[in-house]
Structure 1
Amino acid sequence: MCNLESLKIDLKELDEGLTTLKFNLGDAYFESLDEDEIKRGSVSVSLNVRRTENYFELDFHTAGSVVIPCDLCLDDMDQDVESDDRLIVKFGEEYSEDDDLITVDEREGVLDVAWFIYEFIALNIPAKHVHTPGKCNAAMIKVLEEHSATRSSGENEEAAVDPRWNGLEKLKTIIKD
């Protein structure tokens, strides 16, 4: 398992000005989060934290590749990801999240960025993800095509129709006459 402690930033310890942090996240990171969408990957994160008197600006640059299932054949596929994201953090009485403004409990002063990084990666994955043509699992594509052909050929179409529609079919023939 990945030690997610390294992704907890003690904001109180940071000096005013710019601090750069770098993280290389691999399979262990994704496994530690125990999420279904992304199980493996290799991603580099560069985090610039600019501390001012009143708040922190966190600029994330994430680049790498993750392994996700293909929507068509369900086999694993590599998906390149790259994103630039920003969070504004301030100290307050208790932890809260409001859009891109995070309030960290001033007594603790620690911000865990592990989940934010995962969200940035997940949001960067296209809604539809399929292998490049010819790379899908051939056996699965064949089964998919067989089932699609059966559905579109009209076989067993009469049996598939809800019997309640029969009354409407009668009305259609009356209207035509």
Structure 2
Amino acid sequence: MMKLRDYEIGIAKLSNKKHVYEFVLDDDFFEEFGKEIILGGHMAAEVELDKTESLLTFHFNVRGHVRLTCDRSLEEFDYPLEVEATFRIKYGDENLELDDDLWQITSNTQSINIAQHLYDYIGLALPMKKLHPRFVEEDEDEEDDDQDILIYSSRTGADTDEDEDDEDDADPRWDALRNLN
């Protein structure tokens, strides 16, 4: 099994400028996180780190494909994926997660491991409904059919005769309440 140390970026000795890193995310990478969501894949990640005195800005650009399980047939298939995300780290008194895409670290932090961030951004880019490509056209046809369904209608003046018929079919116990007006 591969170690996630390959995804550590030493920030202590970096100068204040832009730095570019390239990583390969293969089956060994995805295996480190388990196979519940993503079974495997092959992706290339380009990470641009813009370091300033008070802020680290990571720009992730990940392209490739992941292997998923179809929700309908349980078959494995390759799903092409392209992810672009930004993550920021600022310096402060303690290590905190301030927001999903903003962390705070102490100034004596030596390195940042971005493996979990890469995996999370890939996971967030996956579709909610994972369908094998052969089912995608069928599913799109069903969505088109759903658009033809009438959801709301209002009655016009010509429909008032039907209202009177509906009142006759109503429960007679409600007649006493209608007469209270």
Fold shared, TM-score > 0.5 on shorter chain: yes
Taking the TM superposition and a 5 Å limit, the aligned residue runs for 1:2-17 are 2-17=2-17
Gapped regions of structure 1 (runs ≥ 5): 136-174
Which residue does 1:108 correspond to in 2? 109
Quote the Cα distance in structure 1 between the aligned partners of 2:109 and 2:98.
Answer: 19
Which residue does 1:71 correspond to in 2? 71
Whether 1:125 aligns to 2:126 is yes
Which residue does 1:59 correspond to in 2? 59
Shift in CA distance, 118/134, structure 1 to aligned 2, threshold 3 Å: closer
Q: Secondary structure at the match of 1:128?
A: coil
Quote the Cα distance in structure 2 between the aligned partners of 1:92 and 1:8.
Answer: 21
Q: Secondary structure at the match of 1:30?
A: helix
Quote the Cα distance in structure 2 between the aligned partners of 1:35 and 1:102.
Answer: 27
TM-score w.r.t. length of structure 1: 0.72
Q: Secondary structure at the match of 2:87?
A: strand
Q: Secondary structure at the match of 1:33?
A: coil
Which residue does 2:167 correspond to in 1? none
Matched residue count: 138
Shift in CA distance, 15/82, structure 1 to aligned 2, threshold 3 Å: same
Quote the Cα distance in structure 1 between the aligned partners of 2:135 and 2:129.
Answer: 17
Gapped regions of structure 2 (runs ≥ 5): 137-170, 173-181
TM-score w.r.t. length of structure 2: 0.70
Quote the Cα distance in structure 2 between the aligned partners of 1:7 and 1:93.
Answer: 25
**Is the contact made by 2:48 and 2:59 (CA closer than 8 Å) also made in structure 1?**
yes
Which residue does 1:91 correspond to in 2? 91
Root-mean-square deviation (CA), in Å? 1.9
Whether 1:40 aligns to 2:40 is yes
Name the amino acid aligned to 1:2: M
Q: Secondary structure at the match of 2:12?
A: helix
Flag the structure with larger Rg: 2
Q: Secondary structure at the match of 2:32?
A: helix
**Is the contact made by 1:11 and 1:111 (CA closer than 8 Å) also made in structure 2?**
yes
How far apart are residue 108 of structure 1 and its match?
2.5
Shift in CA distance, 134/86, structure 1 to aligned 2, threshold 3 Å: closer
